C-alpha cells in the first residue's frame, strides 16, 4: 500500500469559497490519520464517503476551532451512533489533552459524563523532538500564530514518506528544515497580495521559494483574496477532495 494525502478540507476559518475547515487525511500502511480536524470535518468526511471510525489518529498543529473544533462531534458520534470500537489517538501541542476538555465543554455540554467504549490516548507533543504515534514519526517546530493556541508546524514521516505542514503561521526560521526533502510540503497561503499577521501569504511563498527544498508544494487555507487569484499562480493549490499519491 502506498501513501496518499486527501485534502478533506482546504479552507480558512470562514468557509471562503464554500470550502471546509482544515482537515488533511493521510492513508498509509497500517494507519489512517488526520492532520488537523476543523469544526466542519465530519461533514466534509461524510461528503467524501470516508467513515470517521476508520481514522486511527488525529494530529493537531494548534488549538483554533477551524483546526480542532470537529473533535467533540467525532467523539460524541463515535460513542452514540457510530459505535466505534477501535482505539483513537489524539496528539497535539502543549496542553492539548486539557484544552480539548474545554473545547468539548463549550461545544457539546454534558459529554463529560459519557464513557467511551474504545480506548482514547491523548498526547502532548514537545517541539524539536520526534514522537511516535503508531508507525508515524511526528516532529513539531514552533510557529508564529495566536500564542494562546500553542501553535506549531508539523513534519510527519510514515512508510518512508515525509509530509511537512506549516500549520497557521508567519514565515519562521524553522520552515526550511521543516520542508527539507519532504515528499509533500503543505503551506498555508491565506492572502494573495495582503500581508496578514500570524499567517503565510502569497508574497511569503514567492520570497522564500528558494529556501523550500521539497519535492512538491501545495498551498492551502486559502482566503477570499487568494481564491480570486488562484488561476494566476504557478503553484498547485488544494481544493476539497484533492487526492495526492506519494
DSSP assignments along 131-151, one per residue? EEETTEEEEEEE--S-GGG--
What range defines the domain where residue 71 resides? 4-245
- Asked whether the predicted pLDDT for residue 240 surpasses 90, the reply is yes
239-246 mean pLDDT:
98
**Backbone torsions φ then ψ of 15, nearest 5 degrees:** 70, 25
**95: confidence class by pLDDT, cuts 50, 70, 90:** very high
DSSP 16: G
Enumerate residues 6+ apart whose C-beta is below 8 A from 171.
144, 200, 204, 207, 208
Residue pointed to by grid coordinates 467523539: 75
CB 202 within 8 A of CB 190: no
Q: How far is CA 185 from CA 24, 117, 179, 194, 240, in A?
A: 12, 37, 6, 22, 17
Stretch (H or E) spanning 57: strand 57-59
- pLDDT value at residue 156: 98
- Asked whether the predicted pLDDT for residue 222 surpasses 70, the reply is yes
The whole-chain average pLDDT of the chain stands at: 96
CA pair distance 232, 185, nearest whole angstrom: 20
**1: confidence class by pLDDT, cuts 50, 70, 90:** low
SS3 content of the chain, % helix, strand, coil (to 5): 30, 30, 45
Residue pLDDT, tens place only, 24-42: 999 999 999 999 999 999 9
Give the chain's domain count.
Answer: 1
- pLDDT value at residue 44: 98
DSSP 62-120: ---HHHHTTHHHHHHHHHHTS---S-EEEEESTTHHHHHHHHHHHHSTTGGG---SS-E
Residue pLDDT, tens place only, 173-187: 999 999 999 999 999
**10: confidence class by pLDDT, cuts 50, 70, 90:** very high
- pLDDT value at residue 46: 97
What CATH code is carried by the domain that includes residue 174?
3.60.15.10
- pLDDT value at residue 101: 92
**Backbone torsions φ then ψ of 106, nearest 5 degrees:** -75, -40
CA pair distance 192, 233, nearest whole angstrom: 9
**217: confidence class by pLDDT, cuts 50, 70, 90:** very high
Q: Is 212 exposed, middle or buried (0-12, 13-18, 19+ CB in 10 A)?
A: middle
Report yes or no on whether pTM surpasses 0.85: yes
Residue pLDDT, tens place only, 50-60: 999 999 999 99
Amino acid at each position: 500500500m502506498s501513501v496518499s494525502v486527501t485534502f478533506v478540507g482546504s479552507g480558512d476559518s470562514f468557509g471562503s469559497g464554500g470550502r471546509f475547515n482544515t482537515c488533511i487525511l493521510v492513508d498509509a500502511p497500517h494507519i489512517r490519520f488526520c492532520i488537523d480536524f476543523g469544526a466542519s470535518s465530519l461533514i466534509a468526511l461524510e461528503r467524501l464517503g470516508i467513515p470517521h471510525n476508520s481514522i486511527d489518529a488525529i494530529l493537531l498543529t494548534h488549538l483554533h476551532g477551524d483546526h480542532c473544533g470537529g473533535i467533540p462531534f467525532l467523539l460524541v458520534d463515535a460513542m452514540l451512533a457510530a459505535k466505534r470500537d477501535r482505539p483513537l489517538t489524539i496528539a497535539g501541542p502543549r496542553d492539548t489533552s486539557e484544552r480539548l476538555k474545554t473545547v468539548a465543554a463549550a461545544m457539546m455540554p454534558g459529554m463529560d459524563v459519557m464513557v467511551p467504549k474504545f480506548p482514547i490516548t491523548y498526547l502532548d507533543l514537545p517541539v524539536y523532538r520526534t514522537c511516535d504515534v503508531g508507525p508515524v514519526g511526528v516532529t513539531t517546530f514552533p510557529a508564529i500564530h495566536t500564542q494562546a493556541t500553542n501553535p506549531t508546524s508539523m513534519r510527519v514521516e510514515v512508510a518512508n514518506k515525509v509530509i511537512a505542514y506549516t500549520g497557521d503561521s508567519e514565515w519562521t526560521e524553522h520552515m526550511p528544515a521543516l520542508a527539507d526533502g519532504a515528499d509533500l510540503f503543505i503551506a498555508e497561503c491565506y492572502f494573495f497580495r495582503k500581508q496578514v499577521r500570524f499567517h503565510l501569504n502569497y508574497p511569503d511563498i514567492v520570497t522564500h521559494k528558494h529556501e523550500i527544498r521539497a519535492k512538491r508544494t501545495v498551498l492551502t487555507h486559502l482566503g477570499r483574496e487568494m481564491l480570486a487569484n488562484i488561476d494566476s499562480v504557478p503553484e498547485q493549490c488544494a481544493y476539497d477532495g484533492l487526492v495526492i499519491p506519494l
